[in-house]
Amino acid sequence: MTTRRVYTNMNPKIALRRDDSRKAYDLLARFYDELTGHHDYERWLSALLPPLEGHGLGGSKLLDLGCGTGKSTMPMLRRGWSVTACDNSTEMLAVLESKAGDRVRTEIADILALPALGQFDLVLCLGDVLNYCAADGRVVAALEGIERNLRPGGLVLFDLNTLLTYATLYSEHQVMTVDGHQLVWRGGGDGDPAAGGLFESEHEVIEPDGTRAKTVHRQRHLDEETVRAAIEAAGLDCLDVFGQGFDAVLEQPLDERRHTKSIFIAKACQTREERR
């Protein structure tokens, strides 16, 4: 049976702001796999793992942060990794647990109040989780939580949304129907995003009986210079930066007007003294 522990954020001011994100994904959990069906995580991970291996990836212990319904967890399980999957949405974790059963350890925690869950060889933080953290101005805090969970020499890989994504997805109006439910995305952008800007979108679920529920997605853009500084402030070493589009092909240098994602790879220092 899957073991799930719950960790709460003790800062109520942060919890009030972060609650929007949790509610949004609780609401979308039952539709999430259909909504993101065009995101091929098998292909994506096949592109992301080689550069990690080039930086000395070893071991088999993975912490999958912001794991959601297991889009990245399941492919890594199939690759033989021992996975601890962490998310702040109980509904998203419930979907993952229905897929993975006792093959995965699940933890409920906010990345901004991440406890020490273990010493991991690799931490993945995919799905622009850190853009949500940036909306609260707490990117360094999130990265410090990641650093605490890496073994000496362990690696972390995370992605961020680029200006191109905020110019398109976060500035668009989209409607999708899943199992009789209408899912409406209303981007709040104007198609001309500013670096470092705060971006919001509204997601509405309309039930077959007409019942409506709305949530807000709030993210902040982070440029490469800001992210490199945050990585260093968290006691990590930035090893590589890539840009990529929907084709999952990693390219250098990162071009925020052409790539939809930026990809960062960082490493934990070998000793605690070096980390200080």
pLDDT in tens, 162-206: 999 999 999 999 999 999 999 999 999 999 999 999 999 999 999
Q: Do residues 226 and 162 lie in contact, with contact meaning Cβ atoms separated by under 8 Å?
A: no
**pLDDT at site 28:** 85
More reliable by pLDDT, 207 or 4: 207
**Least confident piece of the model among 105-109, 213-217, 265-269:** 213-217
Q: What percent of the chain has pLDDT over 70?
A: 91
Across the range 224-234, mean pLDDT stands at 98
The pLDDT assigned to 271 comes to 62
**Residue 13: what pLDDT?**
37
**Which residues, 6+ apart, have CB-to-CB distance to 175 below 8 Å?**
182, 183, 184, 185
CA distance 15 to 18: 5
Amino acid (one-letter) located at 13: K
> Which two three-digit tokens encode residue 204?
């509405």
> Is residue 260 scored above 80 in pLDDT?
yes
What pTM was estimated for this model as a whole? Answer: 0.91
Q: Tens digit of pLDDT for each residue in 60-105? A: 999 999 999 999 999 999 999 999 999 999 999 999 999 999 999 9
- The span from the CA of 38 to the CA of 246, in Å, is 9
What domains, with CATH codes, occur in the chain?
4-162+222-275 (3.40.50.150), 165-218 (2.20.25)
* Packed helices 12-28 and 90-100: angle between N→C axes, nearest 10 degrees: 50
Lowest mean pLDDT among 33-42, 106-115, 144-153, 252-261: 33-42
**From CA 122, how far away is CA 109, in angstroms rounded?**
18
pLDDT recorded at residue 23: 81
User: Average of pLDDT values for 45-68?
Assistant: 97
- Residue 24 has what pLDDT? 83
The pLDDT value recorded for residue 20 is 65
| Mean pLDDT (the chain, rounded) | 90
Burial class (CB in 10 A: 0-12, 13-18, 19+), 98: exposed
Q: How confident is the model at residue 12 (pLDDT cuts 50, 70, 90)?
A: very low
CB atoms within 10 A of CB 245: 15
**What is the residue type of 75?**
P
* pLDDT computed for residue 11 by the predictor: 36
pLDDT digits (tens, 9 = 90+) for 26-38: 888 888 878 787 8
HEC string of 188-240 equals: CCCCCCCCCCEEEEEEEEECCCCCEEEEEEEEECCCHHHHHHHHHHCCEEEEE
Cα(first)–Cα(last) distance of the chain, in Å? Answer: 39
Cα separation, 148 vs 158, whole angstroms: 16
